[in-house]
Structure 1
Amino acid sequence: MKPLSDNEADTLIDKSQQSYNVDLKPSGNVYEFSLQIVTGGNEITSLKNFTTPITLRFKVDPSQNAKLVSIYYIADDGTLEFIGGTYANGVISAEIYHFSKYAAIEYTKNFKDVPNVHWAKNVITELASRHIVTGTSSTDFEPERQITRAEFTALLVRALHLTDNGNSNFSDVSVSDWFYPEVSTAVKSGIVEGKSETTFAPHASITREEMVAMLMRAYEKQHSNAAMSSVTAFDDEDAISSWATTYVKNARALHFVEGREGNLFIPQGVGTRAEASQVIYNFLGQ
């Protein structure tokens, strides 16, 4: 376990900041980990990859925002690989499967169209640091733009850390599409359904009731035996599609969603990227 010199660490972090257009602050040293077996004949074998994970633990600088700190693998060219981690009592820990350079880093991504006064600023910043939400460019987030079915599906897959890839048989979802892995994974897990048996409509704006239905299927995947309290969800409950009514009621009971105007849900209204971020944040905080 070798700490990089300040100059080496600064150079590496600077490469990453320029590549990702993000503010990065290491929480302590950047370390290079290695493991070698040296035989009696001085034959050296380096072990880099493990079939069983090893746990790394880093102290988090108390002056930093722990919600924005994660463990990263840093390649020599500055490429970051998000590892994540669990924070408790001033320490963040995560499992890794290969050795190289690692650090706990405070990752702050600011978008020029999400000012500090925006109602979803903190949520978007935190989810960006966890690599759940991404910008529409290196500088913009477009918080008020309507979110598509493919985009929301991708958010859920990232939030749940789903990696079990499936196959998509939808005629409008091609292997070359950026969202193909997320859609195929979500379909296999049972979180999402198509608009029909043959189409997914990835570029269509997602309605608020569709968004909640996907969210609650994801919740039920994690909490199969969870008991739900019966509540009257919203004043416009009659306008909610019959297939989505239970999902919306349960989401309201769990405080995943709130009304837009008074106590109106507006089920056929389309969700924005900022609203979707808030819903995902609520879901992860339950």
Structure 2
Amino acid sequence: MLINRLTSMLLVFVLLFTASIVDAAEPSTSLAAIGQKKQGESLTIQGTTSLQEVIVQIMRPNNTMLEMDQLTKAELLTGMMITLPTNAPLGSYTVKVGSGSDVCVATFVVIASGGGGPGTEPGTDPGTDPGTDPGTEVPPVGEDTPTNPELPTVKPGIGELALQAVNGQDAAGVAKAAVTLEALDQAFANLQGTASSKLTLDVQKVEGAVAYETSLPAAALTEGGMKRQLTLQTEFGSLTLPSNMFTTEVMAGKANVSITLRHVQADSFSEKVKTAIGNRPIVDIHVKLDGKPVPWANAQAPVNVSIPYQPTLTERNHPDNITIWYLDESGQPVPVTSGKYDERSGTVTFTTTHFSSYAVVYVSKTFGDIAKFPWAQKQIEALAAKGIIAGTSEQAFSPADSIKRADFVLLLVRTLEMNASAGESFADVHASDYYHEAVQTARTLGITQGFGDNQFKPNQIISRQEMMTFTARALTIAGKLKPTGAGTGTDLAAFKDAAEVASYASESIKALIQQGIIEGSNGLLQPLASTSRAETAVMLYRIYHLSGGR
């Protein structure tokens, strides 16, 4: 068996590193970035391939062989670990993986451990071959110079790791890049201060690519691991991925995660949807675990998404109308309430807890009965465009009508995109009620405790102090409300009717006043009065645009 295996390896070795006389097929093998290593450290050769078996060869800076092995497709995906000799030559090492014309080439650099001199490993001539000069990290020049360098570069103090897609793009136009856990650990270790838990993986642009697929180690995105935040950046957009993106149950036995960001044409959607989207960008985001596509959804691990977009002059004058649609499996649009245009970055940003197709859209919505409420018209139209608030009919908003408790909680939860595991329901809130999920979320999070006898009274008109209390609790949970005393606004005592404020609402109202969310009218808070739909829209609009908001 050993002789057969060695013979097989030798045959594949000859095929791997001898020029082919036939036209090369589209390469399918890719490697994860390795990064910089010290003498004596371990490294992992990891990647993906469509071949059943591949040969792995690691060459020293002087082009002598350090390691050669034969791996199956599954073994390459899991990774082959080797330990560098303590006296390994310094300089650029070349890794070649594949068979026949399907070969991927990568590099990594070995530096001295503790500042030592060049290595003296048998078979090398230290100090005389290119790449073995202490402190030099310049790859040797010659016929073995890698054509697809994979060495990631960390920009000091910025927290950015540049990834080069291997072999350009495949036949489907997908550019693939990868990074190992070792390279991530090294990049995080090289960061200092507040940036130490945040790192951007910048996948370099490949001309003509329609999608970017980035392979990451499973441990980087599994709950229970280190609290790190990765931003995956491509020309089509960026994803900020939380470290608890996947549960341990889902990731049991998994080696890596591949996340793809694809530019999508609108051709497959209905004429109505295509007309609404126009030539604005559409991106599809999906995931593979160990090469197999899987759906991803996790309400406890929101992902922040940014899509580059240059608005027209009309759109720049009405930026609140720029938003995001989620396109479901049937191609129907669903408003993403967090979608907004960020002028500073030139992107449309939003938050999602599931991956699918998303489109940038410009939505203009108004109602025939809001012109007499000019102080609220802009806010009503903006929230309607986002899909946060709706009219009482297609043409009417009923701005002067008072708002009910259940409707306010629904709008508040929707504005802040709050989620919670299903908990206990109120006796008077039923599963068939359109506000059931929002009220249940509010109860689970502690926004409302209801009245006695497990009652919420959903159809009761909400008082202003109830509204303000719910709002303050929700903003505190969302991390968007400063503690009482931290703001610069007017104090509660400055209002003529401060004595009418109930004790349970006092601190909440103080916090909203000091942060400028509540202003009052003519020196009055009117805590016992009802709140109109127009007033509700104005307050929700302020919440939506809070500093640091989504």
TM-score (norm 1): 0.79
Distance 1:74 1:246 in 2: 42
5+ residue gaps in structure 2? 1-262
Q: Which amino acid aligns with 1:85?
A: G
- 1:160 is matched with which residue: 399, 413, 416? 416
AA partner of residue 57 (structure 1): I
Alignment CA distance shift 1:251-1:90 (3 Å): same
Is 137-146 or 80-89 further displaced after alignment? Answer: 80-89
* One-letter code aligned to 1:49: P
Q: CA, structure 1 residues 9+267, in 2 after alignment: closer, same or farther (shift >3 Å)?
A: same
In the superposition, relative to structure 1, how do residues 225 and 174 fare at CA in structure 2: closer, same or farther (>3 Å)?
closer
**Contact kept in structure 1, 2:423 and 2:441, CA below 8 Å:** yes
Contact in 2 for aligned 1:168/1:183 (Cα 8 Å): no
Task: State the one-letter code of the partner of 1:81.
Answer: V
Matched-pair contact (CA < 8 Å) for 2:340–2:349: yes
Correspondence for 1:180: 436
2:510 to 239, 249, 258: 249
Question: Corresponding residue for 1:41?
Answer: none
Residues 66 and 28 of structure 1, relative CA distance in 2, 3 Å threshold: farther
Q: Return 58-67 or 77-86, whichever deviates more.
A: 77-86
Of all paired residues, the percent bearing the same amino acid is 24
**Normalising by structure 2, what TM-score?**
0.44
CA contact (8 A) 2:273 2:333 kept: no
1:159 is displaced (CA, Å) by: 1.3
Residue aligned with 1:67, SS: helix
Helix, strand or coil for the counterpart of 2:503?
coil
1:36 and 1:168 map into 2 onto residues whose CA distance is: 33
Q: Against the structure 1 CA distance between its residues 78 and 61, is the aligned structure 2 distance closer, same or farther, given a 3 Å change threshold?
A: same
SS across alignment from 1:152: helix
Q: 1:67 to 1:206 in 2, by over 3 A?
A: same
CA 1:160–1:54: 2 relative to 1, 3 Å: closer
Q: Name which of 188, 191, 209 aligns with 2:447.
A: 191
Which residue of structure 1 lines up, in the alignment, with residue 310 of structure 2? 60
**Superposed counterparts of 1:204-223, under 5 Å:** 204-223=460-479
More strand by share: 2
Letter in 1 for 2:505: A
Q: Given the superposition, is the C-alpha separation of residues 223 and 103 from structure 1 closer, same or farther in structure 2, using an over 3 Å criterion?
A: closer
Aligned residue in 1 for 2:222: none
Correspondences of 1:1-286 after superposition (within 5 Å)? 1-4=263-266, 11-13=271-273, 24=276, 26=277, 28-29=279-280, 31=282, 33=284, 47=293, 49-50=295-296, 55=305, 57-63=307-313, 64=315, 65-74=318-327, 79-83=332-336, 84-85=338-339, 87-88=341-342, 89-94=345-350, 97-100=354-357, 102-115=358-371, 118-223=374-479, 226-229=482-485, 231=491, 232-260=493-521, 262-286=522-546
Larger RCO: Structure 1 or Structure 2 (Cα < 8 Å, ≥ 6 residues apart)?
1
Secondary structure in 2 matching 1:119: helix
Cα offset, 1:2, TM superposition: 4.3
Two-structure CA RMSD over aligned residues (Å): 3.2
Query: Do the aligned residues in 2 keep the contact of 1:149 with 1:205 (CA within 8 Å)?
Result: yes
Q: CA deviation at 1:244?
A: 1.4
Q: CA deviation at 1:285?
A: 2.8
Q: 1:193 to 1:59 in 2, by over 3 A?
A: same
Q: Distance in 2 between matches of 1:193 and 1:105?
A: 38
What is the DSSP-based 3-state SS (H/G/I as helix, E as strand, rest coil) of the residue aligned with 1:126? helix
Give SS of 1:145's match: coil
Runs of at least 5 residues in structure 1 that lack an aligned partner in the other structure: 16-23, 38-44
Between the two proteins, the alignment pairs up a number of residues equal to 266
